[in-house]
Chains A and B, each alone.
Chain A
Amino acid sequence: MNNPPDISQDPKEYEEYARGIQKHVRGYLMVGALLLTFTAITVALSYVDFGARKANVAVAMLVATLKAGLVAAIFMHLAAEKRLIYRILIFTGFFVMGLFWLILLAWYDYPIFR
């Protein structure tokens, strides 16, 4: 879904513009309903025994990532954003992955309970 364009100063174009926004509003409501559904699914799945706790964590994180993706893409307009913002986010992603990677390294370095 694209960002609604900036409003036109021309009153003739205004009506069409408002209708365009209205279409986006419907999308936002749908995404809200989807997010609520996924929340219910997350709760329900946490009571299903997938064999190991690790498997339950993996499933829940998968659903959470999906929800986060919806929020970022639609509510935060990342589905269609200017290039500079993607550039900022690529850096952020790189550094945050580094952060989690460090944890992994520390874990292998410090085997108390394994």
Chain B
Amino acid sequence: MEIPYTVSTRPDTGLWNAKIGIWLFLASEVMLFGALFSAYIFLRIDAAPGTWPHGLLNVPVGTMNTAILILSSVTVVLAWAALKMRRYRAYWWYMLATISCGVIFLVVKLGYEWPQKFEHFGAYIKPDALAKYEQYLGNERRIEKGLEPRIEITGHLHSQNTKEYEVALDPVNAEPNNPFMDRPHFFPLPVTDKIATIEKADVQRATMFLPTHSAYFASYFTITGLHGLHVLGGVIVFIYMWLPVSKKLYQRNPEHLANRVEVSGLFWHFVDLVWIFVFPLFYLL
């Protein structure tokens, strides 16, 4: 059976069918990500002072991934334009570039960024024990300057026994009174070799940087995870359209393939669009 209106426009809608289909799907996607972003806003505006971390993610790597996604958005639209001009070779190369960008994005995210977080440790100190760890928190100076108090000590977990954690400190906690540490930096500073001993009795909760660490990391892993699934979905579809099986469609009906690339491209641009908001919200602000 021939599927109607894959290329020609349907008289009552004025569009070919897949175009309406993808836009309805994207409308539902807007609601899905909209719900997650509104949850993010809610969690963030009601976060108690000191509980919403700032500057824990790797900004250069995040910026690179942003650039890669933008690049892939350009290549996919060029692939579509190449098909419209009936240049299959160019289409094939642009598609390969798009797929590669998607794969690089995922590898960086899942192979580097996430595992880096899983290795990082943070311990929230109980309110009545904060003064005891003043040398790592520097709160006297912070309160004087009107900054949010620090209530967490972070770094690499060296060892622990039943009573205490030994943590190789992040620079923020190694030199808490250094004004240089008041704001995050573009290049992440490596963990220092200064070791702090934190008694477990003084700790409210302590975890690696996992979704259980805080509302911040819960929303970070949920939103970037769902976004990553979308990138994966896009890559799979693009691979199908890049394989020889699609060349057969091209030879039979080039406009049909162009339309397929257009709708999957629309999905890809949407995924890029979501990342445009994810990047500043989680990495920069």
Contacts and interface: CB of A to CB of B under 8 A. Distances in A.
Given A64-B276, A88-B24, A91-B27, A102 B74 contact: no
Contacts of B186: 43, 47
A25 B81 contact: yes
B273 A71 contact: yes
A68 interface: yes
A99 B39 CA distance: 10
Contacts of B15: 82, 84-85
A90 to B, nearest CB: 10
Interface in B71-101: 71, 73-74, 77-78, 81, 84-86
A68 B41 contact: no
B23 interface: yes
A46 B45 contact: no
Contacts, number: 131
A4 B84 contact: yes
Given A46-B285, A85-B23, A113-B46, A103 B183 contact: no
Contacts of B73: 32, 35, 71, 75
A29 B94 CA distance: 13
B70 A35 contact: yes
B147 to A, nearest CB: 11
Contacts of A72: 269, 273
B20 interface: yes
Contact of A71 (B46, B86, B276): B276
B251 interface: no
Contacts of A113: 46, 48-49
B63 A39 contact: yes
Interface of B: 13-15, 19-20, 23-24, 27, 30-31, 34-35, 38, 41-42, 45-46, 48-49, 59, 63, 66-67, 70-71, 73-74, 77-78, 81, 84-86, 183, 186, 255, 265-266, 269-270, 272-273, 276-277, 279-281, 284-285
Interface of A: 4, 6-7, 17-18, 21-22, 24-25, 28-29, 31-32, 35-36, 39-40, 42-43, 46-47, 49, 53, 56-57, 60-61, 63-64, 67-68, 71-72, 75-76, 82-85, 88-89, 91-92, 95-96, 99-100, 102-103, 106-107, 110, 112-113
8 contacts: A4-B81, A21-B85, A28-B77, A49-B183, A63-B280, A64-B277, A67-B276, A72-B273
